[in-house]
Chains A and B, each alone.
Chain A
């Protein structure tokens, strides 16, 4: 199996796993936001799944091309707030991975760092505001710490460390007052519950962290 195949299989696994989480995210989002997060994300990921298994992206042989293409499909078919941020992050990761100086053992942190930076820029969000950034930023730090200590680490164990960090970060959004997105208007109603965007990041990472060849 080529590395591109491994990335493709992982992406398919993510699409499948999110089918199970969409209802929970939608319910959570109708308390804190507007109740469309799960549905729109799922719509986009179903299109992505189709493309990865039998469409354009089934043929992609290079990782950057595969990642950017996935981001563009999400942008097109899941243009909700979360979907837009996710798609811009994924597209940025694809671009960064296409860069000339990306060392082999550095791809995971290069991609994730680019994604995080773009999501923060597009969403004008910083940690502490009760958003997906509160899960993603600690996850990216965990990825950087793991790859710095041992470049070329098994990517799936690095991602497992990222999941734990993301989970802790998402839990912390329970006590934050949202200042971004639709949740910012319902700061009291959403209080005490996890930000749905942060939880979605956790679920996405958990699905990515499972080696699809196991």
Chain B
């Protein structure tokens, strides 16, 4: 079966998406230095705060730019589909977003992004702007726990953005915002299941091939190979598998409270996520882990990829307060 997509010209996929976003939300977003790929908040808060800046390849909305908003991120550098933004764009975003309290770069662990963010950070530090980076590496499927720094960043990004954005909005210093974000990420783990690929617009090719009746646990959001391909299983078995692997990998124990992010990779509908949620609650409660907050929907996608991911973040009072803080973005909801 072929894929059908609504677009004008595959080569303009990213820029036409951005043009739509700027015109739909002109009161919220503006292009720094006129560079459409350097998206920042249209209005800065009254008081100076740490600028939390992200960036990454396109094709994952609402990741990355959808998390720019009040109580969330200050700006986002936008790359081509699945490719890092150049260091120069990251620099433009960071300079525009900076309001005197330093810049926290918060992004997913992909080599192209790491290199470009490092180069941008070096340039800003040379100009005397305080910078720190926190790299999100939450996907348990992408490397064993002894090499957890090699892991990819996936939907855990969404929760990290929320924590960092709330801490920055609360007036915390750069070191404090970085520390609480790292602390929250230390107890955050994600794992996904893929049912079908997405098509990269410019090549017209799917990111991977999978039979109609198969699924793959742990496949990356760019089609990177996962850890287990099997026949499609019922929701409760999929959910149990995701939850079990995350609980085994992360620092979770009986009596813990967690926040849950149950995320569609793009094509999977809310109905299926809620079927999974019912199963998940039973699984976690059997393990003595209670769900204090949950967000269910499209938080980190790969265009029309089918499948879902589960993220758990262990809570303490400092993290919970930040997750509960007010925030607003037109592209993503963190309501309770």
A30 within 8 A of B: yes
**Which residue in chain A gives the minimum CB-CB distance to B110?**
A182
A186 contacts which chain B residues (CB < 8 A)?
224-225
A185, B200: Cβ atoms closer than 8 Å: no
For residue A75, give the distance in angstroms from its CB to the closest CB of chain B. Answer: 5
Q: Give a binary string over B200-216; 1 marks a CB under 8 Å from any A CB, 0 the rest.
A: 10110101100000000
A28 within 8 A of B: no
Q: Give a binary string over A69-80; 1 marks a CB under 8 Å from any B CB, 0 the rest.
A: 000000111111
A185 contacts which chain B residues (CB < 8 A)?
142-143, 150, 152, 220, 224-225
For residue A163, give the distance in angstroms from its CB to the closest CB of chain B. Answer: 26
**Which residue in chain A gives the minimum CB-CB distance to B87?**
A75
* Docked pose: A135 CA to B308 CA in angstroms: 38
A36 contacts which of B81, B142, B150 (Cβ < 8 Å)? B81
B82 within 8 A of A: yes
A106 within 8 A of B: no
A36 contacts which chain B residues (CB < 8 A)?
57, 80-83, 200, 222
A39 contacts which chain B residues (CB < 8 A)?
200, 202-203
B86, A79: Cβ atoms closer than 8 Å: yes
9-residue interface stretch from A54-62, A81-89, A167-175, A205-213: A81-89
A123 contacts which of B115, B203, B224 (Cβ < 8 Å)? B115
* Docked pose: A59 CA to B67 CA in angstroms: 43
* Docked pose: A27 CA to B84 CA in angstroms: 19
Q: How many residues of B contact A (CB 8 A)?
A: 32
For residue B156, give the distance in angstroms from its CB to the closest CB of chain A. Answer: 16
B150, A79: Cβ atoms closer than 8 Å: no
**Which residue in chain A gives the minimum CB-CB distance to B201?**
A39
For residue A187, give the distance in angstroms from its CB to the closest CB of chain B. Answer: 9
Most chain A CB within 10 A, of B88, B203, B223, is at: B203
* Docked pose: A26 CA to B199 CA in angstroms: 13
A34 contacts which of B82, B85, B143 (Cβ < 8 Å)? B82
**Which residue in chain A gives the minimum CB-CB distance to B200?**
A35
Q: Known contacts A84-B116, A185-B225, A186-B224: does B111 contact A79 (CB below 8 Å)? A: no
Q: How many residues of A contact B (CB 8 A)?
A: 32
A79, B222: Cβ atoms closer than 8 Å: no
**Which residue in chain A gives the minimum CB-CB distance to B112?**
A81
For residue A6, give the distance in angstroms from its CB to the closest CB of chain B. Answer: 29
Q: Give a binary string over B78-120; 1 marks a CB under 8 Å from any A CB, 0 the rest.
A: 0111111111100000000000000000000011100110010
A188 within 8 A of B: yes
Q: Known contacts A34-B207, A76-B86, A80-B83: does B222 contact A181 (CB below 8 Å)? A: no
Q: Known contacts A26-B205, A35-B207: does B86 contact A75 (CB below 8 Å)? A: yes
Most chain B CB within 10 A, of A30, A38, A79, is at: A79
For residue B145, give the distance in angstroms from its CB to the closest CB of chain A. Answer: 15
8 other A-B residue contacts (CB within 8 Å) besides A27-B205, A81-B111 = A35-B222, A36-B82, A36-B83, A43-B202, A83-B83, A84-B84, A182-B110, A185-B152
10 A-B contact pairs sorted by A residue (CB < 8 Å)? A35-B200, A36-B82, A43-B80, A75-B88, A76-B88, A79-B84, A80-B84, A83-B83, A185-B224, A186-B225
